């Protein structure tokens, strides 16, 4: 028996190596009547020249582009609000997120906030709280990680350290364009961290407690296959086109999976690490991943065993044995990428773990999806294991 379910994703996905070089033409074909485009990115990407071919083609096809490059990692609220004001004064008719998850998340909110005054950002946090229509929205990732190009989620840092999500169908883009050429130069540490973030999306979608569904399952399995086979090749040789294409497609599949079968305790425990210590999102996930899986193992072993069949195809034995093999394989992969493996390696002190555990408890939107209930004491035990 299949439970009733709902599955939403972008209506159009273009997967094309080199698509950025003909971005103006691609957008002209889909949005013939529009002219004023707001490109949302970060300062590093803008200055790096990576976006130049895309910007040149936009101009060649009559787009009047305003580049907003103030996005920073784990974007705080004020960045969203200032960028919205700029998009408004430029008279933006369409918004393009062109960068990592941070840029795409800000682009979503600009598209929702810029065309109206009825609803404030502060009223949008939570699930299905957005009541307004947005501007046309296109997303083009430069990391193979967040899957934000296909999700209904935008993550904002509110106040000093808390990460809050706006989750609403209006945030799903009209068009997502995957051009793996944009990811060729992604440094190895960022390749590893963002790739592990994508793997976590697939793993947590597959074990999600309430909205797990057959379409998300299929996407999560395919995502994990692509990601687990190509993460190390992409880290070893950033110019490996095949590995980069597989990673980008895998990250998008994982995004489609968790957009409809949401992530859980790995993300809930990762957010305080990013919020308080400014550790990149993917790395925050990697630091707690094996420890959360061990914590969940007695509740989720059958599902983890199915994932082990994908990630460690030779694993045999009971569901518990396969779960163990999965966790060990993930730990080996994290070690092989040489990103930090312990909380103490990223500047966290043991005295900080208590605050992290109490902050993690605030991520109720995520914790409800975990296959096993997580108490504050449980979260603290996981952080201690990861320390």
Ligand X SMILES: NC(=O)c1ccc[n+]([C@@H]2O[C@H](COP(=O)([O-])OP(=O)(O)OC[C@H]3O[C@@H](n4cnc5c(N)ncnc54)[C@H](O)[C@@H]3O)[C@@H](O)[C@H]2O)c1
Contact status, residue 30 vs residue 175, Cβ threshold 8 Å = yes
The residues with which 165 forms a beta bridge, in sequence order, are 155
Task: Give the residue with the Cβ less far from Fe ion, 179 or 197.
Answer: 197
For residue 197, the minimal CB distance to Fe ion (Å) is: 4
Picked from ligand X, Fe ion, none, the partner binding residue 370 (CB below 5 to 8 A depending on kind) is: none
Task: Give the residue with the Cβ less far from ligand X, 51 or 92.
Answer: 51
For residue 151, the minimal CB distance to Fe ion (Å) is: 9
Task: Residue 223: name the closest of 296, 145, 285 by CA.
Answer: 145
- Window 108-147: residues binding Fe ion (CB under 5 A): none
Exposure letters 116-128 (e unless 16+ CB within 10 A, then b): eeeeebeebbeee
Task: Give the residue with the Cβ less far from Fe ion, 262 or 371.
Answer: 262
DSSP conformational letter for 52: H
Q: Does residue 197 interact with Fe ion by CB under 5 A?
A: yes
For residue 163, the minimal CB distance to ligand X (Å) is: 6
For residue 343, the minimal CB distance to Fe ion (Å) is: 18
Task: Give the residue with the Cβ less far from ligand X, 29 or 56.
Answer: 56
Angle, CA 262 vertex, CA 261 and CA 265 arms, to 5° = 135
Picked from Fe ion, ligand X, none, the partner binding residue 290 (CB below 5 to 8 A depending on kind) is: none
How many CB atoms within 10 Å of residue 225? 17
DSSP string, 239-251: T-HHHHHHHHHHH
Torsion of CA 245, 251, 252, 258, to 10 degrees: 160
Picked from Fe ion, ligand X, none, the partner binding residue 103 (CB below 5 to 8 A depending on kind) is: ligand X
Task: Give the residue with the Cβ less far from Fe ion, 282 or 378.
Answer: 282
Task: Residue 382: name the closest of 266, 280, 298, 303 by CA.
Answer: 266
Report the C-alpha gap between 259 and 146 in whole angstroms: 11
Q: Which residues bind ligand X (CB under 6 A)?
A: 42, 44-45, 50, 73-74, 99-103, 105, 142-143, 145-148, 151, 153-155, 182-183, 185-186, 190, 194, 197, 281-282
For residue 2, the minimal CB distance to ligand X (Å) is: 26
For residue 289, the minimal CB distance to Fe ion (Å) is: 11
**Helix or strand or coil: residue 387?**
coil
For residue 122, the minimal CB distance to Fe ion (Å) is: 23
Contact status, residue 346 vs residue 287, Cβ threshold 8 Å = yes
Report the C-alpha gap between 87 and 221 in whole angstroms: 39
Q: Pick the stretch among 5-13, 192-200, 218-226, 230-238 that binds Fe ion (CB under 5 A).
A: 192-200
Task: Give the residue with the Cβ less far from ligand X, 280 or 290.
Answer: 280
Task: Give the residue with the Cβ less far from Fe ion, 87 or 254.
Answer: 254
Q: Which residue is nearest to ligand X (CB)?
A: 100
Report the C-alpha gap between 286 and 182 in whole angstroms: 24
The residues with which 15 forms a beta bridge, in sequence order, are 178
Query: Can you give the binding site for Fe ion, defined by CB under 5 A?
Result: 197
């Amino acid at each position: 028996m299949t439970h009733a379910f709902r599955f939403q994703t972008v209506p159009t996905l273009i997967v094309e190596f080199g698509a950025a070089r003909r971005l103006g033409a691609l957008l002209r074909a889909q949005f013939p009547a529009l002219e004023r485009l707001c490109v949302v990115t970060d300062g590093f990407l803008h200055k790096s020249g990576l976006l130049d071919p895309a910007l040149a083609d936009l101009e060649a096809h009559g787009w009047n582009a305003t580049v907003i490059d103030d996005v920073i990692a784990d974007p705080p609220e004020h960045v969203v609000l200032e960028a919205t004001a700029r998009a408004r004064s430029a008279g933006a008719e369409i918004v393009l997120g062109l960068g990592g998850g941070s840029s795409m998340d800000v682009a979503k909110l600009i598209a929702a906030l810029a065309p109206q005054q009825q609803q404030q950002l502060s009223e949008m946090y939570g699930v299905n709280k957005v009541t307004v229509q947005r501007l046309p929205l296109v997303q083009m990732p430069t990391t193979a990680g967040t899957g934000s190009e296909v999700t209904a989620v935008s993550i904002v840092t509110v106040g000093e350290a808390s990460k809050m999500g706006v989750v609403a169908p209006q945030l799903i883009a009209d068009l997502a364009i995957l051009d793996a050429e944009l990811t060729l130069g992604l440094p190895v540490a960022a390749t590893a961290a963002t790739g592990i973030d994508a793997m976590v999306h697939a793993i947590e979608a597959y074990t999600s407690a309430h909205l797990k569904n057959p379409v998300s399952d299929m996407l999560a399995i395919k995502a994990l296959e692509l990601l687990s086979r190509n993460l190390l090749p992409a880290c070893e040789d950033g110019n490996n086109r095949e590995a980069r294409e597989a990673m980008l497609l895998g990250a998008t599949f994982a995004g489609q999976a968790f957009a409809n079968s949401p992530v859980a305790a790995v993300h809930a425990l990762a957010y305080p690490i990013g919020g308080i210590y400014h550790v990149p999102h993917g790395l925050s996930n990697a630091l707690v991943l094996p420890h959360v899986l061990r914590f969940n193992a007695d509740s989720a072993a059958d599902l983890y065993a199915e994932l082990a069949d994908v990630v460690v195809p030779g694993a045999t034995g009971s569901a518990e044995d396969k779960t163990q093999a999965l966790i060990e394989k993930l730990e080996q992969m994290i070690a092989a990428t040489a990103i930090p493996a312990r909380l103490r390696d990223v500047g966290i002190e043991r005295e900080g773990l208590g605050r992290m555990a109490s902050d993690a408890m605030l991520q109720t939107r995520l914790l409800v999806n975990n296959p096993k209930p997580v108490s504050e004491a449980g979260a603290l035990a996981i952080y201690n294991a990861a320390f």
